[in-house]
Amino acid sequence: MSVADARKPVALLARAGAARDRLREALDAAGAQVVLEEDPTVLDAGTLAAAGPQAVLVALEPAVEDALVALEPVLESPGLLVVFDEADLAARRDGWEAQRWIRHLAAKLHGHDDVLPPGREQDLVIDLQPGAPATPAQLHAEDPFDTHLAEAAARAEALPEDRPGENLPEPAIAAPSPLAWSLSDDAAAPAFERAGREPPPLPDFSRLELVALEPEGTDDIVKGAVLVIAGIGGPDAVRKLIGALPAGFTRPLLVQLKLDGGRYDNLVKQLARVSALPVAMAMPGDAVSAATVYVLPQAVGIEASDEGLAFTDGDSELVASLPPAESAVIVLSGADPARIDAVLALATRGGHVAGQSLEGCYDASAVKLMAAGGAELGAPAQLAEQLAARWS
């Protein structure tokens, strides 16, 4: 097989301009063969299918989004790889950033995870060990609790306390005023006795029964959520995960996907096309509703209270804010490896954690750490099935 035969057939869908020119150059550098290059606003599904691409690269912009609806029968074909890029970012990307994007595009097209420049070693070395992660007790084995007990006993003598035999004075009870005294208790007798009549019959309590009181509105309180973490290569995986969730899924989904251009409104529109659940933008101050997909922009956090979950301003680690027993974290392509310690810690406290399988994963650095920590991996559709079985 020649080198030309080994190049992966790719369809480039972009409007004419600088973005399409840059993406064509990137595909050539990434080892792809462009079998179709067309403006998606004038392209029909039959022409796209007839080109026989194994992957499709789409330059997203507002004028293109509506046109993609007509192409969905082909874009959703099994085995077809679809990669989205922001058109305005593609037009401006150059130098080191352009080379970095080409390496990630090549990894996505050819199914490997080597995204480092030539001549560089892989920085991440994973030492897989059998067994479950260490428990909190094992992690604190070098800091026994007996030391703290001994310190408390030593300081107890200096603390104030109530000692036996020291009676506290009781508050005096004031005697009634002599003006309130009476030699007869007739005034205190019931009216029916003063009138010489029989007492009235008692009410019939035979039909009364005790009913347990329940707090009102507890069924509407959101007790937990599913946090989806992704990055480079993540939009495809997020789309497949959410598209596989049933309409009866009850937990809210919080999607944290870092976008270079910050076009989270576009991501909301893209996910709404494939989701059986409503999709919304997370806004600080809003309560988190059940059975809803939320896209979280940067610097939006969550907090838990007796009234449920709510969005807040802040960039603190969301994993630590989730109620463990009622929540889950799904790690997809491009997630930040620095967050995996917090994810695995959630699992030790009863949370459900899982990661995307290595096959088809664009950037698997964080996913490999999940596997090393004992987390289960699966394709996005399989991860959706696990969530649905737990909370549908």
Q: Quick check: helix, strand or coil at residue 233?
A: coil
Query: Can you give the pTM of this predicted structure?
Result: 0.55
Total domains, the chain: 2
Tell me the CB-side half-sphere exposure of residue 294, using CA atoms within 13 A: 25
For residue 35, what is the domain's CATH number?
3.40.50.2300
Q: Would you place residue 10 in the very low, low, confident or very high pLDDT band (cuts 50, 70, 90)?
A: very high
Cα of 188 vs its chain's centroid, Å: 69
Please report the beta strands in the chain, taking only residues with DSSP state E, as ranges in sequence order: 8-13, 32-38, 55-60, 81-86, 226-230, 253-257, 279-281, 293-295, 300-305, 308-313, 328-331, 352-356, 376-378
pLDDT at 122: 47
Q: Is the pLDDT of residue 311 over 90?
A: yes
Looking at residues 345-371, what average pLDDT do you find? Answer: 92
Mean pLDDT lowest among 194-203, 226-235, 351-360: 194-203
Cα of 227 vs its chain's centroid, Å: 1
Q: Is the pLDDT of residue 170 over 70?
A: no
Burial of 183: CB neighbours in 10 Å, binned 0-12, 13-18, 19+:
exposed
pLDDT at 289: 93
Contact 228, 254 (CB under 8 A): yes
Residue 195 lies in a domain: no
pLDDT at 121: 46
As a whole-number percent, the residues of the chain with pLDDT over 70 amount to 75
Q: Which residues pair with 308 in a beta bridge?
A: 305
Q: Is the pLDDT of residue 3 over 50?
A: no
Residues 323, 306: Cα–Cα separation, whole Å: 12
Contact 308, 287 (CB under 8 A): yes
Q: Is the pLDDT of residue 113 over 70?
A: no
Q: Which two three-digit tokens encode residue 172?
A: 């005096």
Residues 152, 348: Cα–Cα separation, whole Å: 29
Residue 125 lies in a domain: no
Q: Is the pLDDT of residue 116 over 70?
A: no
Residue 180 lies in a domain: no
Q: Which of left, alpha, beta for 196 (phi over 0: left; psi -120 to 50: alpha)?
A: left
> What does the pLDDT look like over 258-271, one tens digit per residue?
876 677 888 898 89
Residue 173 lies in a domain: no
Q: Which residues pair with 235 in a beta bridge?
A: none
Q: Is the pLDDT of residue 239 over 70?
A: yes
Q: Taking Cα atoms as reference points, which of 267, 377, 271, 268 lies closest to residue 333?
A: 377
Looking at residues 361-390, what average pLDDT do you find? Answer: 93
Contact 49, 43 (CB under 8 A): no
Looking at residues 169-192, what average pLDDT do you find? Answer: 54
CA angle 391, 317, 353 (to 5 degrees): 35
pLDDT at 243: 93
Helix axes 340-348, 365-372, angle to 10 degrees: 30
pLDDT at 204: 67
Looking at residues 34-42, what average pLDDT do you find? Answer: 94
Q: What size, in residues, is the chain?
A: 392
Last residue of a domain, one of 45, 80, 110: 110
Residue 256 lies in a domain: yes
Q: Is the pLDDT of residue 272 over 50?
A: yes
Contact 334, 231 (CB under 8 A): yes
DSSP state of 179: G
Q: Quick check: helix, strand or coil at residue 34?
A: strand
- Same domain? 105 vs 225: no
Q: What is the mean pLDDT of the chain?
A: 82
Residue 116 lies in a domain: no
Residue 19 lies in a domain: yes
Last residue of a domain, one of 92, 110, 128: 110
Task: Output the CA–CA distances (angstroms, integers) from residue 315 to 226, 301, 303, 310, 353, in the order listed.
Answer: 18, 6, 12, 14, 21
- Same domain? 233 vs 369: yes
Contact 27, 105 (CB under 8 A): yes
Q: Would you place residue 4 in the very low, low, confident or very high pLDDT band (cuts 50, 70, 90)?
A: very low
Q: Is the pLDDT of residue 348 over 80?
A: yes
For residue 254, what is the domain's CATH number?
3.40.50.180
Residue 196 lies in a domain: no
Residues 371, 356: Cα–Cα separation, whole Å: 10
Q: Is the pLDDT of residue 124 over 50?
A: no
Last residue of a domain, one of 110, 142, 173: 110
Q: Taking Cα atoms as reference points, which of 84, 29, 77, 30 lies closest to residue 52?
A: 77
Domain of residue 236 covers: 221-391
Q: Is the pLDDT of residue 381 over 70?
A: yes
